[in-house]
Every structure is written in C-alpha cells, then in structure tokens.
Structure 1
C-alpha cells in the first residue's frame, strides 16, 4: 500500500492535474466514478507498473522475512551408565552452575570396586616393603655364605700346603672333600647374590608396574564412581526435570530433563530468507529486526553468516529411492544475524518470533569510480528505496502487538 501511494504521486496525481488544469476537466463533472479509468488510464497503468517494479526492486535488493527466530540449543540430562536414582538435588526446574550436581545414582557397586582397587594398591605397597626387607635378609645371607666360603677356602689351602710338604699328613680324599665344600660354598654365595638381584628387580621393575596397574584400576573405579553423580556441564537452567528417587535411568531412554545454557539464544538470530535472494545476501550486510517479545523496538543487526546450502534438499540414506516431487515445499536460505551493538538482545526472550530486514549497500561500488553515471544513479536509487522497507518494518513493529493482542484473540 505504501509503495502504491508513493508511485501514485508520480503517476496518477500528475495525470489528474493535467486533466484538471490543462484540459479543464472537473472532478464530479467530466471526471466521475465511472470515467476514472478512461480519464486517468495512463496514470493508473503507469502507477501499477511502477509499483510492481518498485516492490520488486525493494524486496530483491533489501530482503525481508517473517521466518526469524531466536533459536537456542538445549542439553539433554542423560547419565553415562544405567542405574537407580538414589538422590535428586533439584526440583522440576532450577538454576545450576557448571559442575553442580543434578542427581546421583546408586553407587554401592562402584564404591566396592573403589575399595577393592584401593586395597590392591595397599597390597602392592606392602609387597614393596616386604621386598625391601628381603633385600636386607639377602645381604646378610650373602655375608654369611661368603664367610663360610672363606673359611672352607682357607681350610683347603692349609690342607693343600700340608700335603705338599708331606703326603702322609693329609689324605687325598680330605682334599677332594674340601674342594667340593668350597665349590658348594661358592654356589651358595652365587645363589644369595642372585636372590638379592631378584628382589632388587622386583622393587625396581615388577612392583612399580603392579602398583601402576593397581593405581590405574583405582582411577578407573573412581571415575566410574564419579559418573554416578550427574553434574551440569554448563551454567544454565534445568527445566522439565521430573526424575525422582527410585527411578531407573538408561542413557538410551528419554532424557531426565533439559539444561538450557545461560548464553543460549542471547546473541544470534536465525532468519530464513527466500531462495531467490541467495545472490543478494552477503556477510556484513546491515539488518534490522523486530521481535514479538520486545514490542515497538527495532534492533540494529548485522549479517554474520549465510548458510551455503538449503536444508530442504538434504538426503538421508535409506532403502527407497527419493522422488524430488516429494520435496514440494521450497526451503529457505538460513542467515545468521547478530546485534550491531552490545546489549541489543536485552529483553528478547530466547525462542521469540521476529521480523527481519536486510539492506544492500552499493556505496563502495559507487565510490570506486568504475561505473558509468547511469549505473551510479540506478544503484543510488536502489540504496535509497531501502528507506521504504525500513519504514515498513517500523509500521509492522507498531502494528504487531495490536494485531497479536486484538485481532488474533490472544
């Protein structure tokens, strides 16, 4: 309607002025309700053509959409393991900070596993102490066997010397007995040294490995125990939390509730524009939005992202061939808008329905000096008609609450 009024000022009104003052035709006399079309046909046709052209230029170069929503993501509250609920820390809804407990599962099995792993660690520590004591015992045994070996060796040397001086003093069999005794004492010394080396190897290699394995088992058992307490991963608000003590929970079943992050829906507006505007929408375009939850306020925004594919054309693998005719409803071009100024979304409730406009700007192209005069004038006109769309958005922002509260019956 606004475009029609503006175009009529340039077409129908001059045509009427010409008929009235140049041709002398008077309203109500020569120009009547029945002769308007014949008398003003040139102005009416020109007005309609100019209106259609103006609307096309405005809506193509300055896209508008009513499919804009402040979307936000929710985090499902789901445990990592199965179990029975033992304690609930919240009501149906409540505010939580990151790391706060939400509910706890029965942890008797996990606590028993932690205690078993802890005792295994203590057992390995005790084995380490025993091994150190065995080393002291092996050192004493080594000293004892070396002393016995030294005594047997001295006795052998003495008998050998006596036999060398006089064969009749010491019998040959006695010498052989002493040689065997010395060899046995040497083997005893080697066995004692090997026993000490074995104990040292246990202390330096085996027992540390067993302790590391026991500590890893303890850490795993403690992690399983910690999983029985479900905590908030982010700060936010828990809603629809109907879980109660005694319920059985399963990660493959429905979530116990939803956690809405506190920053969700506070910074980005998602808007779906027509596919025909895919060549016009660019990152950095200035935009405006009016949201139903914050009436009579126009929020300055900027385009920060344009999705380079249409969601309606996605294909999921299945056992049936896809017929393109089934995709009857054309999808929209998803555009991400952010407030141009800090705090622009204050008062806008996440999930609100909004109206958004985006405005093309050809200032840099015009200032580049690479265009002809006619093209510069045309681009100036394209940028100028964006004012009409901005005015329409403000009219919509004013009418929207009235339309919702009065005419829709809400």
Structure 2
C-alpha cells in the first residue's frame, strides 16, 4: 500500500491535476467513476508499472523475512547408564550451577562390584605373601639339592680314582652307580632351580598382572559408582524435570529433563528466500523488530551467511532418495548480531522476529570511474531502502495491536 501511494503521487496525481486544471475537466462531469480509467489511463498504467518495479526492487535489494529466531541450545539431562533413581536434589525450574548434583541412581550393584574388586586385590596380595614363602622354600631346596649333588660327586670321584689306580680294587658297577647318583642329584638341582624360577615368575609377572587387573576392575567399579551421581554440566535452569525417587531413567529411551544454559541472546538466525542468495552478504546492515520487545527497532549487522541450504541435505540410508522429496524450497540462513552491545539482552531466547537487511552501494559510488546513469541507479536502490525501513516501523506499531486485538489476544 505504501509503495502504491508513493507511485500514485508521481503518476496518477499529476495526471489528474493536468486533466482537472489544464484541460478543465470536472469531477462528476467529465471525470466520473465510470470514466476514471479512460481519463486517467496513462497515470494508472504508469502507477501500476512503477509500483511493481518499486516493490520488486525493494524486496530484492532490501530483503525481509519473518523467520528470524533467537536460536538457543538445550542440554538433555541424561545419566550415562540406566537405573532407578535413589535421590533427587533439585526441583522444577530451579537454577543450577555447573557441577551441582541433580539426582543419583541406586548404587547397590556398583557397591557390590567395588567390594568384589577389593576382595580380589586382597586375595592377590595374600597370594604374593604365599609366593614369597614358596620362594624361600625353593631356595632351601636348591641348597639341599646342591649339597646332595656335591656329596654324590665326591663319592663318584673317589670310586673313579680307585678304579683308575687299581681296577681290581672296585667293581665297575659301583662306579656306574655313583655316576647315576651324580646325574640324579644334578636333576634335583635343576628341578629346584626351575621351581624357584617359577615362583619368581609368579611374584614378578603373574601376581602383579592379576593385581593390576583387580585394581582396574576396582577403578571401573568406582567410576560406575561415581556416574550414579548426575551433575549439571553448565549453569542454567532445569526445565521439564519431574523425577521422583523410584523412577527409572534410561539414556536411550527416557531422559530426566532439559537444562537451558544461562546465555544472553547475542544474535538471530534469519532465513531469507533463495532468490536473495546473491544479495545477502556479510557486513550488510539490517533492522529487526520482535513481538517480545514491542515498539522497538533494533539495528543489526549480518556477521555470517550459511553457504548451504538445509532442505537439500541427505544422509545415507537403505533407500534411494527421490529428488521430489526435496521440492520444498529452503532458505538462506544468515546470522544477524546487534550493532550495539546488549541491544538484545531483553529478548527471551527462542523469540521470533521480523528482520530487514539493506543493500548499501556506498563503496561502489566512491569509484571515480562510475557512470552517471549507473550512479543514479545505485542511488535509487539505496534510497528505496527507506521505504522498507518505514514498512518495518509500521509493522512494529501494528504488531501489538494485531496480536492483542485483531487476533483475539493469541
């Protein structure tokens, strides 16, 4: 409507004034309701053409969207394991700080696992004491076996010497028997040494490994015990939290609630039409108005433009995707942040807003080689931004009335 009024002021109005005062035609006579088209045909035609051109220029070079939202992230309150709730430490809509306990799960199973692991460690330590006693016993057996070997060797050496000096003094059978005794004693020594090595291996490798495994099991059980206490990962307000002692929670199927982190609104995510993909650029100045902050227009700047359209995304599945499923056109997502710090502090997280972005050709107009017609066109494009700014302010004025009165207060 505003564009039509502006265009009619330079087309229909001059045409009417010419016909009324220059040609002398009178209202109700030559200019009637039935003759308006014929009498003012040139002004009406030019007005329609200029209005369409103006609207196209405004909405293309100064895009607007009602899909601007102060997006925020929530944190799902989930335990790392399922279980039955033993105790709840907070209430609904309560503010919590990072690390504050929220609730705890039943730990009877974890306590039993901890006790079992401690018993296993004690058992291994007792085994190490026994192994040290066995090591001392093995060392004694080695001493005993070496003594027997020395005695058998002396007996053999004596008989062999007698045999050498006087073959008739002793029978060959006695010498062979002494040799067998030496070999037997040597085997006993080897067995005793091997027994000591086995016990030493138990002390040095097997039992420490068993103890390390038991300690790892204890640490695992203690970690599982600590995970039974669920704490807040960040400062925020707990929402939809209605746990009671005895409830069962599961990290896959049944979360405990939602934690909304403490953060001020620092920017808006705005979705512009794909036809404006070549217009939306980082650094563009814009304005937003939000129902949550009525009668307020906040200057913003585009700080980032997403280079993909969300509606075209695809994930690997077991079915081929038909292109017609992507027929719904998506939007160009732009991040808009306030020009002045704290301008959006009063805006609740998740609020919807109306946003404008304005094209500026200031840098292009500073080019000394720019032509006169080109400069005129760029000036005209920049000037049409005033119309969109005025429209946004009219929306800011009408929005509370339309919401509270015309829509029945919804």
Smaller-chain TM-score bracket = 0.7 to 0.9
What corresponds to 2:187 in structure 1? 187
Q: Is the 8 A contact 2:280 2:305 kept in 1?
A: no
SS where residue 296 of structure 2 aligns? Answer: coil
The runs of 5 or more residues in structure 2 that have no matched partner are none
Distance 2:270 2:355 in 1: 7
What corresponds to 1:266 in structure 2? 265
What corresponds to 2:52 in structure 1? 52
Q: Is the 8 A contact 1:307 1:335 kept in 2?
A: no
User: Residue 102 of structure 1: CA displacement?
Assistant: 1.9
Q: Is the 8 A contact 1:285 1:359 kept in 2?
A: yes
User: Residue 314 of structure 1: CA displacement?
Assistant: 6.9
User: Residue 350 of structure 1: CA displacement?
Assistant: 0.8
What corresponds to 1:136 in structure 2? 136
Distance 2:368 2:136 in 1: 95
What corresponds to 1:282 in structure 2? 281
What corresponds to 2:100 in structure 1? 100
SS where residue 230 of structure 1 aligns? Answer: strand
User: Residue 171 of structure 1: CA displacement?
Assistant: 5.0
User: Residue 184 of structure 1: CA displacement?
Assistant: 1.9
User: Residue 67 of structure 1: CA displacement?
Assistant: 2.2
Change (3 A) 1:313 1:150: closer
Change (3 A) 1:149 1:288: same
Q: Is the 8 A contact 1:281 1:306 kept in 2?
A: no
Matches within 5 A, 1:251-400: 251-263=251-263, 266-303=265-302, 304-306=304-306, 308-309=308-309, 311=311, 324=324, 331-367=330-366, 372-400=371-399
Change (3 A) 1:369 1:210: farther
Q: Is the 8 A contact 1:85 1:244 kept in 2?
A: yes
SS where residue 260 of structure 2 aligns? Answer: strand
What corresponds to 1:61 in structure 2? 61
What corresponds to 1:407 in structure 2? 406
What corresponds to 1:79 in structure 2? 79
User: Residue 241 of structure 1: CA displacement?
Assistant: 0.8
| Cα RMSD (Å) | 3.4
User: Residue 270 of structure 1: CA displacement?
Assistant: 2.4
TM-score, normalization by structure 1: 0.84
User: Residue 65 of structure 1: CA displacement?
Assistant: 1.3
User: Residue 322 of structure 1: CA displacement?
Assistant: 6.2
What corresponds to 1:206 in structure 2? 206
CA deviations on 1:159-188 (whole Å, 9 max, x unpaired) are 433444445655544433332222222112
Distance 1:165 1:83 in 2: 91
SS where residue 295 of structure 2 aligns? Answer: coil
Change (3 A) 1:129 1:272: same
CA deviations on 1:33-92 (whole Å, 9 max, x unpaired) are 777655544334323322221111001111111122223232333334332211111112
Q: Is the 8 A contact 1:290 1:355 kept in 2?
A: yes
Distance 1:262 1:63 in 2: 32
Per mean C-alpha deviation after superposition, the further-off stretch among 206-215 and 308-317 is: 308-317
Matches within 5 A, 1:153-232: 153-167=153-167, 170=170, 172-232=172-232
Distance 1:169 1:369 in 2: 134
The runs of 5 or more residues in structure 1 that have no matched partner are none
Q: Is the 8 A contact 1:362 1:379 kept in 2?
A: yes
Distance 2:339 2:135 in 1: 76
